[in-house]
Amino acid sequence: MKSHGFDFDLFVVGAGSGGVRASRVAARCGARVVVAEELRLGGTCVNLGCVPKKLFVYASHFGDEFADAAGFGWTVGAPQFSWPDLVANKDREIARLNKVYRGLLEGAGVSILDGRARLVDRNTVELGGRQITTDKILIATGSRPHLPSLPGIEYAITSNEAFHLQKLPARVLVVGGGYIAVEFAGIFAGLGCQVSQLYRGSLFLRGFDRDLRIELAESMRQRGIDLRFDSDVAQIEKAGGGYLVSLKSGERIETDLVMYAAGRTPNTAGLGLAAVGVEQDQDGAIVVDEFSQTSVPNIWAVGDVTNRMNLTPVAIAEGQAFAETVFNENPQKPQYDNVPTAVFSQPSLATVGLTEEAARQQHSAIDIYKAHFRPMKYTLAGRNERTLMKLVVERGSGKVLGAHMLGPDSAEIIQGIAIAIRAGVRKVDFDRTIGIHPTAAEEFVTMRTPQQ
């Protein structure tokens, strides 16, 4: 197992979700492992992504909860919100998680180096003026928000800066149509900001089921979010205490904050990859095979830096598969089919398997089952928001190809259904399952008539 003549058996560049999992598993297999991180342990997810964003999503829900309480007999005084308190409490939790990650690595026997690593050659990594030799290298440096080139782009922020704003702006313009843009539009709106969201396409969340995308757009507009599709920014100008954003259509929007969430770029710059011979694509992502191996035989890459399926649990699965393959003589390939995912929009949506559009392209005959209803909670709260559930079924075999939901707790519900779909569940299995009443989730087992 041990590679004599080298300082380490494995040098991991990046201590995000994928790098940490790979490091721990490789160390448990007996490898001498070192991981280098230039920022904070846990990577994007823990520090500038999933975790703080979900905490902000929770915070943004309380306005609705206070309003809905009246329908259930509660009298609540005028609520007050403190942005500085939220940010401080979030920072305290992130610091706790950083310590947890350090403990996990140290407990597994992994050495930790703080600083930016650069490959000198295929077996040498430089960090802080020190050169370290290693038998194998894993690149797990993740990605960063992308900002386009346009006049005044220096006035815009990304999701990175959104977590550390000194104060909550009254007006926010979010540019982008992916899940990060949609989630932050909901966060800012829920915290009382006047929000506009621009997207250059005709409908946001490309790749998700179209019915859910349409329903979510309607719900967001009902919440007062100004959605503008087929719109793009021409320039951003400073104007008084805020900004004047000119669109390509000639329209202008005054705002206090411009946030771009228009894609992410793999963190490969300055790593020395080209000099070592690691192949990259036109976007800078590292090209890997099905075992996450690069064009250099002793160098691998996992996570967002490979731009395959950029989700934290997928990066973890890739890191696990890498370590099992390379250090445990147990070859594993990450699986990218039927990966469940969620958008913590307001309302949230979650999905697993094929969308209706994809299923129609891949199968000769499918059936669509839908349930569209007002959640029970909202009948007394007086809220008009509706839930949409959808099953995509192959007609001949009855196999469930996809499940999709827009509505409260969608991620929690779809996670369980994802297990069933991974196991090859058929529609008849849903039909034979007794529902839990009264719940929204029971609708998935009571849909009987396919859509005509």
Which residues are tagged catalytic?
437
Q: 3-state DSSP: the chain helix, strand, coil percent, rounded to 5?
A: 35, 25, 40
Give the DSSP letter string of 352-398: EE--HHHHHHH-S-EEEEEEEE--HHHHHHT----EEEEEEEETTT-
Q: 236 forms bridges with which residues in the sheet?
A: 245
Please provide the size of the chain in residues.
452
Q: How far is CA 322 from CA 138, 142, 221, in A?
A: 9, 16, 44
- Strands ordered across the beta sheet of 252-255: 233-239, 242-247, 252-255
Tell me if residue 305 falls in helix, strand or coil.
Answer: helix
How far is 199 from 175, CA to CA, in rounded Å?
6
**What six digits make up the tokens of 448?**
């009987």
Question: What CA–CA distance (Å, rounded) separates 259 from 56?
Answer: 16
Task: For residue 21, give Cα distances in angstroms to 114, 194, 327.
Answer: 18, 40, 13
Cis peptide before 340 (omega within 30 of 0): no
CB distance 266 to 305 below 8 Å: yes
Please list, in sequence order, all residues whose beta carbon lies within 8 angstroms of the beta carbon of residue 345, skipping any fewer than 6 positions away.
Answer: 179, 182, 183, 185, 186, 216, 220
Give the residue from 320, 319, 156, 340 showing the smallest Cα distance to 235.
156
Q: Are 137 and 288 in contact, with CB atoms under 8 Å apart?
A: no
Please give the backbone phi and psi of residue 106, each rounded to the nearest 5 degrees, phi first: -65, -35
Position of tokens 């349409």? 214
301, 321 contact by CB (below 8 A): no
Structure tokens at 440: 């929204």
**Which has the closest alpha carbon to 66: 377, 381, 408, 375?**
381
- CA neighbor of 196 nearest in space, from 181, 180, 218: 181
